[in-house]
A and B are shown apart, each in its own frame.
Chain A
Amino acid sequence: MSKRVMLIEDEPNIIEAISFILSREGLSVETHSDGTTANDKLRASTPDLLILDVMLPGKSGYDILRELREEAGTAELPVLMLTARGQTRDREMAERAGVSAFMTKPFSNAEMLDQVRALMAETS
């Protein structure tokens, strides 16, 4: 069974791009664009990796991250965070919230793939 990646992102074009890249890697991608329901979705079916945008409608990526870190099922879940606001402060906030890896948009596809592979390897 292929590993599952959940992508929470609100920009349709970016969803499309990431889904395309990860599918070619043989991963199954589940996408959501609404921040408010993200934690419920995660609880329902925990993926092997979560890719999380920061600026989401309804609920910020930091809040989602903090919340899932407090739950037993997802406390150890690898999370790759993406942000379009490339300031140091954003990185610090992500680290405090318990992020596994952090990438600034725009990113190179290859780098992102490397990150995803590294994070998946840690867990398996």
Chain B
Amino acid sequence: MLNTLVFVCSAYALFLFAIAFAAERAAMRGQARWLRSPIVYTLSLSIYCTAWTFYGAVGSAVRSGFEYLTIYLGPSLVLIGWWWILRKLVRIGRSQRITSVADLISSRYGKSNLLAVGVTILAVVGTTPYIALQLQSVTLSFEVFGVGDIATGEEQGHTALWVAAGLALFTVIFGTRNLDANERHNGVVMAIAVEAVVKLAALLAVGVFVVWGLSGGVSEALAKIDASSLGQWQIDGGRWVGLMMLSAAAFLCLPRIFQVLVVENENETHLRTASWAFPLYLGLMSLFVVPIAVIGLEMLPEGSNPDLFVLTVPLSQGRDGLAVLSFLGGFSSATSMVIVAAIALSTMVSNHVVMPLWLRYAGGGAKVSGDVRGVVLLARRLSIIGVVMLGYLYYRLSGGGAALASIGLVSFAGLAQILPAMLGGIFWRGASRLGALVGLTLGFGCWGYTLFLPSFGAGVFLPEAWVTAGPFGIGWLRPHALFGIDAIDPLLHAVFWSLALNTGGFVLASLASFPGPLERLQGAQFVNVFEHSAAPRSWTGRVAQAEDLMIMAQRILGARDAQRLFEREARRQGMTDTLPAPTPSFLETLERELAGSVGAATAHAMVGQIVGGMSVSVEDLMAVADETAQLMEYSARLEAQSQELARTAAQLREANAKLTRLSVQKDAFLSQISHELRTPMTSIRAFSEILRDTTGLAPEDQHKYSSIIHDEAIRLTRLLDDLLDLSVLENGQVNLNLREGLLSDVLDRAVAAAAADEHGARLRISRDPAAEQIWLNTDLDRLSQVFINLVANARKYCDATRPALEIRVHSSDRLVIDFVDNGTGISLEAQDVIFEKFSRVSDQKAGGAGLGLAICRQIVTRLGGEISYLKGQGGAAFRVVLPADIAMAAE
């Protein structure tokens, strides 16, 4: 019997090899269409149903009634609700070329390898016991057929080892034919689809045999069920809902499911079919579980292992053929799970652990050359062997006892820890790397402490005292009663706390952290995957690369700079009038240029994605580049605006200061005017009152006082005239009356006018008539006014005993007229202010209000020249400079 079984097994294995090989051949010949139909996709999903469910469902039904159903109901709901999550997951997986769950999480959170390693560890820890479980069920089923023949643990171990070795061989051969994870494993998928059919057929056959063969029909079977110990509906409500949720979560997170669901997905529309076909498959898988359990309980002796009823019921009825079919179903369940799990895990291990280490220690950096391919393949193969052997070792070390039976749900709970990071990553742009890291760490830690480690039994990994009294006697830290909550099922307890801490940590850390550029780019790509990838498509090759790079560079660097860069690179490559070839050196240059604009990480990702044809389409990049360009433009505009604002503010401050100065000047000016007006008026009023009120005033006094009044009145008038004059000049309202005339004539008039109101010492004026023969074309009256002022000043203020004024004229490119007297001149500090209003040259009252020079300066400025005080001339010296165009050389 055992020999027959070994033969059947070997034949079946060969058959699977043949199927896989044929499928690979067909795919290579381009006939893969029929291989990758929606039905095959749906059937490949059936690796969800492992030996644990194939055999264990009946056992579970015997022990806890209908609870086994939850394991099927959860995934059914996920599939039926495919529009929510699976559709998005598959689209992301395809558009981002995701290779595994770890890759999905890592890629979403800024290609973080730390996260990838974390998820890989989680997956390995969660899956290894599961592989061990498969080996155990195959071994147990062998044992059923060989009752009495062999029973030693050593022999069991041999069986498991042979199975493990065979599986590793198959997986290595068909799982690593192609390096590129995106190219599907046609052989493997086809083989597991066949296995899916075998296991469903086997279970249905046993079920049909039980219902129609042993019970005598549907109604009889139902009656038997009602009469059995399972006859009444009894369920733990918390576990019913909790396990449904858990299995749904696990379905999304299990590495092997992700492998067939997302990575091996050929066409998104297949999901549509699977959305109803897979629930149907699950329904059929679970349909006969209860009848088999009931018949097994009824027919088999007390104490038989209910986990093996699927085998032992046909065997007990002498239906060896059916039993072998059933055995093959279980064998298929176990092997397909191990194969796909090994492929999924080996992809993770080699991509996220082995390759990074190899690249770091093998030297040479990340330069892609021929032997990397070999290294990757080797890493994959060793990983597969490692993963399978790890499962075998686990099986041997755990002793294959009852500890394994519960490992299925424990494993589910561990892998479900990926869920918050996964769902958060595809639905929430704010989810950050730190959040994922914190959530996963908390969830993994909590799961390990409350479920995984205690599952080995008290005293194995956790000291018994910890389990019963809490670590160090801290009661609220007991693994099965965190925070004192001990009234619920340990599994639910662990699932609740681990997922609660996981989700809480994930959300809080995400809210508190700020993602990097690549992370944000990936976040947008994932969450808005339907906006970014209009339709499923495959990479079109590398023809358009240079153009794509050019377009992207233009959007980031600006058209002119990008074109210049590309032209320069093309010339360097010895090409003209064409785009440069994407050689490594060119790409490095381009990346550096882009990095200056968008940062190194983003630039690297962009170039890598275009050239490597990796995860993001060119359209996606364009979207990002556009966004970046807009952002940059916007920030540049903001910067310009803020500069402008700063300038405006500075101008405003300046204007304000000027206004303040002007206001101070105005006050001072008004004060001065007041003083200048009130002073003569004081004299006038005082003397007029004296004349009016004083009787018997001497006639000469009368005359004297009247003269004072008269003089002061004239002084007032002159002051007002000057003020008005100055006001007109300052406001620029003066019209220049341009005429032609000789400079000598103007000076003559000025000297004469100044002499008219002369009193006091006579002023001797020396002139140079020859030099004065210059024709002027200007406002002669205004110019004359300036000269009058200057001559009058000399007359009033020259303090020499024999005052003399010399008027010198010299014309070069400009006309210069100097007025120099022989007095003591003007003090140094006064020189700065003599041209200001109301500044008097000397202390004595000379009838002036101090406006004369201010008026002079205004006039000369209006005439286009300038007036200044000449230092070091002995006496007071003023220089009037007029522009050449008003002076015409004498004929």
Binding site for B on A (CB under 8 A): 10-14, 16-18, 20-21, 24, 55, 57-58, 84-87, 104-110
When distances are taken between beta carbons in the complex, the residues of chain B under 8 Å from A104 are 678
Instruction: Identify the stretch in B75-83, B325-333, B574-582, B680-688 within 8 Å (CB) of chain A at 4 or more residues.
Output: B680-688
Q: Do A13 and B712 touch (CB < 8 A)? A: yes
Contact, CB under 8 Å: B708 / A16: yes
* Chain B, residue nearest A12 (CB): B845
- In order of increasing CB-CB distance, the 4 nearest A-B pairs are A17-B686, A84-B678, A13-B683, A105-B682
- Give chain B's interface secondary structure class: helix
List 9 A-B pairs, Cβ < 8 Å: A13-B683, A13-B687, A55-B675, A58-B843, A86-B678, A87-B671, A105-B681, A107-B686, A110-B693
Residues of chain A within 8 A of B671, CB atoms compared? 85, 87
| Known contacts A10-B845, A55-B675, A86-B674; A21 and B686 CB within 8 A of each other | yes
Assess whether A87 is in contact with B684, with CB atoms less than 8 Å apart. no
* CA A20 to CA B689, docked complex, whole Å: 12
Report if A105-B678 is in contact (Cβ < 8 Å); known contacts: A16-B708, A85-B671. yes
- The one of B674, B679, B689 in contact with A108, judged by C-beta atoms closer than 8 angstroms, is B689
Chain A residues with Cβ below 8 Å from B679 are 11, 14, 84, 105
Q: Which residue of the partner chain, among A18, A55, A107, contacts B685 with CB atoms under 8 Å?
A: A107
Residues on B with beta carbons closer than 8 Å to the beta carbon of A16? 708
Interface string of B706-741 (1 = CB under 8 A from A): 001001100000000000000000000000000000
Q: Which of B675, B686, B711 contacts A109 (CB 8 A)?
A: B686
* Chain A residues whose C-beta falls within 8 Å of the C-beta of B686 in the assembled complex: 14, 17-18, 21, 106-107, 109
Closest beta carbon of chain A to B521's beta carbon, Å: 69
**A82 and chain B: residue at smallest CB distance:** B682
Q: Return A56 CB to nearest CB of chain B, in Å.
A: 10
Residue contact A109 to B693, C-beta cutoff 8 Å? yes
Q: Are A106 and B674 in contact (CB under 8 A)?
A: no
- A31 CB, nearest partner CB in chain B, Å: 15
Is the pair A11, B675 in contact by a Cβ cutoff of 8 Å? no
Interface pair B694/A106, CB less than 8 Å apart: no
Find residues 816-866 in chain B having any chain A CB closer than 8 Å to their own CB: 843, 845
Complex Cα distance A3/B198, Å? Answer: 142
Bitwise, B683-704 to A at CB < 8 A (1) or not (0) is 1111101100110000000000
B interface, CB within 8 angstroms of A: 671, 674-679, 681-687, 689-690, 693-694, 708, 711-712, 843, 845
Contact A87 B689 (CB under 8 A): no
Does the CB pair B683–A14 fall under 8 Å? yes
Given contacts A11-B682, A24-B694, A109-B690, contact A84 B712 (CB under 8 A): no
Does A106 lie within 8 Å of B684, measured CB to CB?
A: yes
- Complex: how many Å from CA A114 to CA B684? 20
A21, B690: Cα distance in complex, Å: 8
Tell me whether A85 and B845 are in contact (CB under 8 A).
no
Contact B678 A13 (CB under 8 A): no
> In the docked arrangement, what's the CA distance between A84 and B708, Å?
18
B536 CB, nearest partner CB in chain A, Å: 87
In the complex, A104 Cα to B679 Cα: how many Å?
10
State whether A84 touches B843 (Cβ < 8 A). no
List of B residues within 8 angstroms of A20 by Cβ: 690
A53 vs B587: C-alpha distance in the bound complex, in angstroms? 88
Distance from A82 Cβ to chain B, minimum over Cβ atoms (Å):
8
Judging by beta carbons under 8 Å apart, are B708 and A106 in contact?
Answer: no
A84:B694 contact, CB within 8 angstroms: no
A11-B685 in contact (CB<8A): no
CB closest chain-A residue, reference B694? A24
**A108→B688 CA distance, assembly (Å):** 10
Q: Which residue of A lies closest to B692 (CB)?
A: A109
Cα of A117 to Cα of B683 in the assembled complex, Å: 21
| Nearest-Cβ distance from residue A32 to partner chain B, whole angstroms | 13
Cα distance A112–B618 in the bound complex, in angstroms: 99
Residues of B close to A108: CB separation below 8 A: 685, 689
Cα A29 to Cα B92 in complex, Å, equals: 110
How far apart are the CA atoms of A57 and B708 in the complex, in Å? 22
* A12: B residues at CB distance < 8 A: 845
Q: How far is the CB of B839 from chain A (nearest CB, A)?
A: 13
Inter-chain contact A84/B674, CB cutoff 8 Å:
yes
Shortest C-beta distance, B645 to chain A (Å), equals 38
User: Complex formed: what's the CA distance from A104 to B674 in Å?
Assistant: 11
* Residues of the A chain whose Cβ atoms lie less than 8 Å from the Cβ of B685: 106-108
Q: A17-B690, A24-B694 are in contact. Are A87 and B683 (CB under 8 A)?
A: no
Rounded to whole Å, the gap between the CB of B611 and the closest CB of chain A is 80
Question: Is B683's CB under 8 angstroms from A11's CB?
Answer: yes
Find chain B residues with CB under 8 A from A105 CB.
Answer: 678-679, 681-682
Tell me the bound Cα distance from A5 to B460 in angstroms: 120
| Distance in angstroms between the alpha carbons of A87 and B682 in the assembled complex | 16
Chain A contacts for B693, CB-based, 8 A? 109-110
When distances are taken between beta carbons in the complex, the residues of chain B under 8 Å from A57 are: 843
